[in-house]
């Protein structure tokens, strides 16, 4: 009994077809709402068709691999993604805007930590950081 379908702007035609089908077949008023696709700084869209599918279910993608997805964000995307995908105060993110080099890597860790904590809970971060410490330090 859905009345509203949400989707990316690339799915607008499919969604409108569904709205029209519902009207014609069942006589119901349906709605579609699209949002712009999220793209990376190089213009590529994020998502499964871009080869960057990210599962939200830990059975499909481990918490560590989810964390790594965000840690591997391009330098040019970190600040925008912090604003889009975390609940950090904007003032805190703005303090990171001028960071470069090793500092930008710290911002990537903040992004990875915050995005992972939102999905999987903060409890998993200790194990992720322990794994990283073991592998890379």
The tokens for 86 are: 């975390």
What mean pLDDT comes out for the span 17-24? 95
Count of beta carbons in the 10 Å neighbourhood of residue 36: 9
pLDDT of residue 49: 52
Give me the chain's average pLDDT, please. 92
d(CA 115, CA 53): 15
**Is the pLDDT score of 19 beyond 60?**
yes
Nearest to 34 by CA among 55, 11, 56: 11
pLDDT of residue 43: 86
pLDDT of residue 94: 96
**Largest alpha-carbon pair distance within the chain?**
63
Task: Answer yes or no: are the C-beta atoms of 78 and 108 closer than 8 Å.
Answer: yes
Task: Answer yes or no: are the C-beta atoms of 125 and 117 closer than 8 Å.
Answer: yes
**Is the pLDDT score of 1 beyond 90?**
no
d(CA 97, CA 120): 26
Give this prediction's pTM. Answer: 0.81
What mean pLDDT comes out for the span 45-67? 81
């Amino acid at each position: 009994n859905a009345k509203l379908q949400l989707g990316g702007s690339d799915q607008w035609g499919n969604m409108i077809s569904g709205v029209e089908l519902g009207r014609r077949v069942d006589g119901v008023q349906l709605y579609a709402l699209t949002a712009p696709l999220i793209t990376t700084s190089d213009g590529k869209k994020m998502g499964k068709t871009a080869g960057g599918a990210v599962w939200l279910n830990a059975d499909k993608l481990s918490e560590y691999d989810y964390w790594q997805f965000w840690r591997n964000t391009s330098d040019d995307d970190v600040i925008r993604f912090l604003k889009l995908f975390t609940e950090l105060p904007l003032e805190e993110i703005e303090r990171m805007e001028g960071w470069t080099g090793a500092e930008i890597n710290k911002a990537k860790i903040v992004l990875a930590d915050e995005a992972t904590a939102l999905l999987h809970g903060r409890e998993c971060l200790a194990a992720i950081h322990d794994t990283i410490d073991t592998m890379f330090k």
